[in-house]
Amino acid sequence: MKKIILTGDRPTGRLHLGHYVGSLRQRVELQNSGAYDDIYIMIADAQALTDNADNPEKIRENILEVALDYLSVGIDPDKASIFIQSQIQALTELSFYYMNLVTVARLQRNPTVKSEIEMRGFASDIPVGFFTYPISQAADITAFKATAVPVGEDQEPMIEQAREIVRKFNYIYGDVLIEPEIVLSDNKVCKRLPGTDGKAKMSKSLGNGIYLADDPKTVKEKVMSMFTDPDHIRIEDPGKIEGNTVFTYLDAFSKNEDFEEFLPDYSCLDELKEHYKRGGLGDVKIKKFLVNVLERELGPIRERRAIYEKDIPGVYEILKEGTRKAKETADATLKEVKEAMKINYFDDSALISSQTEKYGG
Ligand code: TRP
């Protein structure tokens, strides 16, 4: 069986470090591993519109931002097809048929939908399109016969629901669709990177994010004002590691080489943590170290972004070519699906001949 990746993001804003450690970094690794036959990365504008119907301009603007973020982290258009969801009609059509395989009760139980409904304060005024987006997400995944879906942990219920739809479809209509596996980041802290305020997760609405496109000065300011241990007042005081955002970020980003390069008094993160716990290590020092660690990662990303920013028409060409290829694949799957469902009337000569016979022809 072919190994195929399909994944994507909603273009509702630029991508941040939470996206990066939660999934983007891993997508690039998977891409470069050479272990996959095809890789599709989707800018999920149609899904973004399910709760932004009144603000299409925002989605339109952010398609380019997300594309630039993808390219700048190292998604390589020669290895992966980056495409725009709304341009692939087959996805809408598949969603329509999958809707018959899912109950309202099942959608209401989907934990991601549930928490998003709470977050946005929806009741029965929820847009139908938003409520049913797990179904459309199953269409996204299955249209490409994806075997692997690298996403953040919050997407787990979506993949589970897609798997159920695949099983139900194949049971009723025969084996056409492939059950996808979720691929999560293996580093625990990376699964849900907190915001710079130490709260919840990084999000645009909370204003606690560090963005891949932030300039060095902004990154530094954000790190220097990061939440640490509120009881660690004087340098001599013993400090806490748990819930200390700077250490959480160091867990997610620092490598042993970073100590050699930026903080040679320590050989590794554990040593730094021990000193902080004992007391005698100030927040400014660990924050400056974190700035260096982040810059080691963000510097090359920013450089690549700058190159692509100089050629926006070229970026649109990449999207156009990715979309062309994605359309080909999704159309082929839709054809198989319609055959399996026996709604391929004009391509089915057996149908016409048997009915001709029935009427004595
Ligand atoms: N729901 C994903 C997000 O919010 C975006 C998405 C849409 C997606 N369709 C997908 C992710 C299919 C993986 C596979 O970021």
Mutate to test the pocket of ligand 1, among 19, 39, 47, 119 (most ligand atoms within 8 A of CB): 47
Residues 66 and 183 in one domain: yes
Q: How many folded domains does the chain comprise? A: 2
Look up tokens 């809408």; give the residue. Answer: 92
Please tell me the distance between residue 129's alpha carbon and the centre of ligand 1 in angstroms: 14
For residue 137, the CA-to-ligand 1 centroid distance in Å is 6
User: Which residue(s) pair with 197 in the sheet?
Assistant: none
Are residue 183 and residue 245 in the same domain, yes or no? no
Nearest CA to ligand 1 atom 13: 7
Least confident of 121-130, 248-257, 321-330: 121-130
On whether both 55 and 142 belong to a single domain, the answer is yes
Q: Is the CB of 290 under 6 A from ligand 1?
A: no
Give the separation between CA 325 and CA 305, rounded to whole angstroms: 24
Q: Percentage of residues in the chain with pLDDT exceeding 90?
A: 89
Q: Is the CB of 10 under 6 A from ligand 1?
A: yes
Residues 55 and 181 in one domain: yes
pLDDT band with cut points at 50, 70 and 90 for residue 164: very high
- Which amino acid makes up residue 133? Y
CA torsion 227-231-233-239 (nearest 10°) is: -80
Residues 80 and 229 both lie in one domain? no
Domain check: are 276 and 330 in the same one?
A: no
319 with 290, same domain?
no
CA distance 165 to 132: 13
Distance 97 CA to ligand 1 centre (A): 19
Domain identity same for 10 and 30: yes
Is pLDDT at 201 greater than 90 in this prediction? Answer: no
Is ligand 1 within 6 A of the CB of residue 6? yes
Rounded to the nearest integer, the mean pLDDT of the chain is: 95
Q: Which residues pair with 351 in a beta bridge?
A: none
> What mean pLDDT is predicted for residues 179-207?
86
Residue 220 Cα to ligand 1 midpoint, Å, equals: 31
Distance 351 CA to ligand 1 centre (A): 38
At residue 119, the pLDDT reads: 84
Which DSSP string do the residues of 66-126 spell out, in sequence order? HHHHHHHHT--TTTSEEEEGGG-HHHHHHHHHHGGG--HHHHHH-HHHHHHHHHHT-STTS
Residue 203 has pLDDT above 90, yes or no: no
For residues 190-205, give the mean pLDDT: 84
**Residue 198 maps to a domain:** no
Q: Which residue has the tokens 């016979």?
A: 357
Give pLDDT tens digits for 186-195.
Answer: 877 777 899 9
**Residue 112 sits in which domain range?**
4-192+312-353
Percent of the chain with pLDDT over 70: 100
pLDDT at 121: 87
Q: How confident is the model at residue 123 (pLDDT cuts 50, 70, 90)?
A: confident
Q: How many CA atoms lie within 13 A of 105 on its CB side?
A: 0
Q: Give me the pLDDT at residue 188, please.
A: 76
Q: pLDDT tens digit string along 264-323?
A: 999 999 999 999 999 999 999 999 999 999 999 999 999 999 999 999 999 999 999 999
Q: State whether residue 288 is helix, strand or coil.
A: helix
- DSSP H helix total and E strand total for the chain: 18, 5
DSSP, collapsed to helix, strand or coil, labels residue 52 as coil
